[in-house]
Amino acid sequence: MNINSILGNIIDGVYNGPSINQREKIYNDINAEIVVIATVLPEKTTIKLSEVSGFTEAKLQITGIIAGEVNKQEIIKVQEPYMESSYRGRACMIVEGGYEPVMVDKEYIFYLNSIKEVNENGKVSYKIRKKIPLKNI
């Protein structure tokens, strides 16, 4: 099964496709705990770990669930492997492994793993394993 067969089975954010066993194979192949369709919200925060390392925390609103334990319409936080910084007074972006940041107000399929720490609101944050835009960007 490939991603095109998944996309063909999503109608109004509801997955109407293959069985749970087939869906488990999809996200186990990528080692993701959850697979969701989500829209990127405008609130992004840069978290600096040092002058040359850090990440960006983005918020996603879940619009569809393909696999995993989350709720539709839930807002979750994800860590993107890039951060905005400055070098010699000029804005720059430090990116890990050629990662392309998600675009605000766009919808993607996200393959996510939880980060084993809980934030101040008792919610788990997630790390992006893979993302696929749903529409041409």
**CA 9, 18, 40, 11: dihedral to nearest 10 degrees?**
30
Domains in the chain and their CATH numbers? Answer: 3-133 (2.40.50)
* DSSP code per residue over the chain: --HHHHHTTEETTEE--S-HHHHHHHHHHTT-SEEEEEEEEEEEEEEESSSS-EEEEEEEEEEEEEESS--TT-EEEEEESEEEEEETTEEEEEESTT--PPPTT-EEEEEEEEEEEE-TTSPEEEEEEEEEESS--
Query: How does the average pLDDT of the chain come out, rounded?
Result: 78
pLDDT band at 116 (very low <50, low <70, confident <90, very high): low
What's the average model confidence in pLDDT over 2-9? 47
Tens of pLDDT along 13-60? 554 555 555 555 555 556 788 899 999 999 899 888 887 788 899 999
pTM for this structure? 0.71
